[in-house]
Structure 1
C-alpha cells in the first residue's frame, strides 16, 4: 500500500514540473497554479517525502518550449476574438467576413493564394449592396475593401482593372466611406491608371452633401474642376441646394455661374435654383452680381420672373441707385409688374420727390409698364405732402383718363392738401366727388375734414359733418 502511494506521488510531481516549464509562455498566476496543485498532494510520512523530493529534483527535465511555441504560432487565430490576425490578414481572413456575396462566387477563391485583376472584378460585381439596411451593409463593405487593398499589395506588378476601381469607388461612396474613396482616387492617379473619375467624383459630391459635410463637398468639387472634369447635373443641383440652405452667397454664386458656363443650366430645376441664388445675392447687397446672373440666364432662354425682378428692384432701391435699376430693365427688355413698379415709385417719392418719380414712371411706361390706381395714388399723396396741389389734381385726371377708379386714400390726400393750402371751400367739392364716383369714404376721410374745418374755424361745417356722420 505504501509503495503504491510513493509511486503516485512521483507521478504527480513529474506533472507539476512539466506544467511549470510552460509558465513563461502563458500570462497566468504561477504561484496560484503551483499552490493549487500542491494543496491536492497526498500527505506522506516524512522519510518518504524527503525521498520523493530528491527524485523530483533529479528527474530529467522535459523542454516543451519549442513545441508550445510552434503550436501557438500556427493557431494564433484561435486566440483572437474575431478570428483573424490583424497584423497581416490573409485573403482567407477577408473572405471569412465577406457575407454579402453568394458562396458560389467566392468558393473557388479559397483554393488560390494569389488574385488576378479579373478575380477582383468578379468579386466586386458579385457584391449586393442593400440600401434599405445602410448601417449593416456599410460594415459588409469593409472586408470587400480589405480584399481590394490586399490584392494591390500582393505584388508590385499587380494593377487593378479600371472597371474594378470604378465599382469599388461607387460601393465605398454608397457606404459613406468617403475618405477611402479619396484614397482610392489618389492611388489610381499615382499609378497612372486610366479611370473615368467623372461619375465617381460626382457621386462623392452628392455623398458629402447628404452627410452635411460642406468642406468635403466643396473640396471635392474644386479638385474635380482642377482636373478639368465637369460634375454631373444632379451633383450640381445637390451642391447648389445645400449652399442656398446654408446661405453661402459667395460659393453658391461661383458654383452656379460655373454650371451655366458648362452649359448645364437650361432646365426648369435650374431656373428654380437661379431664383434662389439671385434672391440670396440681393439679400446680401450683391445686386450687381445678381444682375450679371440674370443676363447670363437670359442667354439660355430663361426669363426672369417676378421674384427675381422684385429682389433686384428692392436691392437697387435700398442702394438708391435708380439709374442702374432703369438700365437693368432696359437690358432685359422687361418692365416690372404692378407690385414691383409701385414699390419703386414709392421709394423714389420718399427719397427724391414726386418729380423724379413721375419721370421714372414715364421711362417705365416706354418699356411696357402700365401704372394702376395705386401708382397714381402714391403720386397724388406725395404731391400733396410736397404742397404741389396742381400736380396732385393732374395725376387725378390721369386716373380718370385711363378709366381707373381712384382710391379713397387719394381723395383723403387731396382733402388734406386743400386745407393745407387754405382752400377749405373746395373740400366739400372733393367730398361730393367721392360720392359721385361711387367711392365709399372711410373714417380717415371724416377725420381729415373735421381737422381741416376746425383749423379754419369753420364750426358750422364741423357741425354738419358730425351730424351727417351720425346720420
Structure 2
C-alpha cells in the first residue's frame, strides 16, 4: 500500500515522489522489519536518479544490523560513501551496535577509529553502544575503561549505560562492582528499571545470595512497585 501511494503521487497528483517521500516509506518498512520491501524501494530510488540521504541509509543499516547483518550494512555504507554521502556519528554507532551483536569487537574498534579519522566526536550514544558491545562479549575491563573515558569527557551515562555495565558485572560474578554501579546510578538521579533489577537478581541467584540480600533490604523506599515485584517474584 505504501508503495502504491508513492506511485500514485506521480500518476494521479502529478508530483513525483522525492527523496523525503521515499525515505519516509523506507523507514516505515524498516521499522516493520520488511527488509526486502525496503531494499526494493531503495533500488527504485537509484533507478529514478534520486540520491539517498543519511536518514535513508541509516534506516536500512539499522534493520540489517538488528538482523545480524552488520557486514552487509558496512558494505552499504561503503557504497553510499562512494556516492558522496558523508556518514555522521549515528551511522557509525549503528554499525558498532551491529558488530557488537555478532561479537566482532575488532570491527567495533575499526568503526571507532574510522570515526576519529573522519573528525567525528563520539557522543554519549556512541560510548553507550561501545560499552554495551564490550559487556555483551564479557570484556568488562574494556567496558569500564570506555565508561571512565565517557565520564572524563563530561558525557552523561543513561539507564542503558548503567544497566549494561551492571548486567556485565553480574554475569562475571562481580556483584560488589554491580551494586557499586547501582549505588552510583541512584546517586546521579537515575532510577533503575526492571531490566536493571533482573540483572542484579540473576547475579545474586547464581551466587545463592538472593534471599540474604532481600532480607537486608526490607525497606524498599525509592523502588518502583513493578521493580519490587521483580525481586519478590523470583
- For the superposition of Structure 1 and Structure 2, which TM-score range results when normalised by the shorter chain? 0.5 to 0.7
> Among residues 8, 31, 37, which one is paired with 1:283 in the alignment?
37
Determine the structure 2 residue equivalent to 1:324.
75
**Does 1:308 find its partner at 2:56?**
yes
| Structure 1 residues 53-68: aligned runs within 5 Å | none
- Out of 112, 132, 135, the position equivalent to 1:361 is 112
Name the counterpart of 2:32. none
* CA distance in structure 1 between the partners assigned to 2:4 and 2:136 by the alignment: 48
Residue 289 of structure 1 deviates from its aligned partner by 4.3
Is residue 88 of structure 2 the alignment partner of residue 336 of structure 1? yes
Shift of residue 336, structure 1, vs aligned partner:
3.4
CA distance in structure 2 between the aligned counterparts of 1:452 and 1:329, rounded to whole angstroms: 44
Q: How many pairs were matched up?
A: 202
Q: Which ranges in structure 1 are unaligned for 5 or more consecutive residues?
A: 1-240, 253-268, 299-303
Distance 1:406 1:440, change over 3 A: same
What corresponds to 2:18 in structure 1?
Answer: 273
- Aligned-pair CA distance for 1:389: 0.9
- Select the residue among 422, 434, 444 that pairs with 2:195: 444
| Greater relative contact order, per chain length (Cα 8 Å cut-off, separation 6+) | 2
Matching residue of 2:128? 377
**Offset at 1:291?**
8.5
1:453 maps to what in 2? 204
Shift of the alpha carbon at 1:462?
3.5
Indicate conservation of the 8 Å contact 1:374/1:407, yes or no.
no
- Do the aligned residues in 1 keep the contact of 2:89 with 2:122 (CA within 8 Å)? no
C-alpha separation in 2, matches of 1:284 and 1:446 = 37
Q: 1:327 and 1:287, CA in 2 relative to 1: closer, same or farther beyond 3 A?
A: farther
Whose Rg is larger? 1
Structure 1 match to 2:228: none
**TM-score, with normalisation over the residues of structure 2?**
0.65
Residues 414 and 323 of structure 1: CA distance in aligned 2, closer, same or farther (over 3 Å) = closer
Equivalent of residue 419 in structure 1, options 170, 177, 181: 170
- Aligned with 2:190: secondary structure? coil
8 Å Cα contact 2:100-2:133 kept in structure 1: yes
Q: Give TM-score scaled by structure 1 length.
A: 0.36
2:14 aligned with 1:245: no
- Confirm whether residue 402 of structure 1 aligns to residue 153 of structure 2: yes
Counterpart-to-counterpart distance in 2, 1:358 and 1:468: 44
Matches for 1:225-240 after TM superposition, within 5 Å: none
Q: For the residues of structure 1 that align with 2:171 and 2:95, how far apart are their CA atoms?
A: 27
- How far is the alpha carbon of 1:397 from its aligned partner? 1.9
In 2, distance between residues paired with 1:326 and 1:242?
28
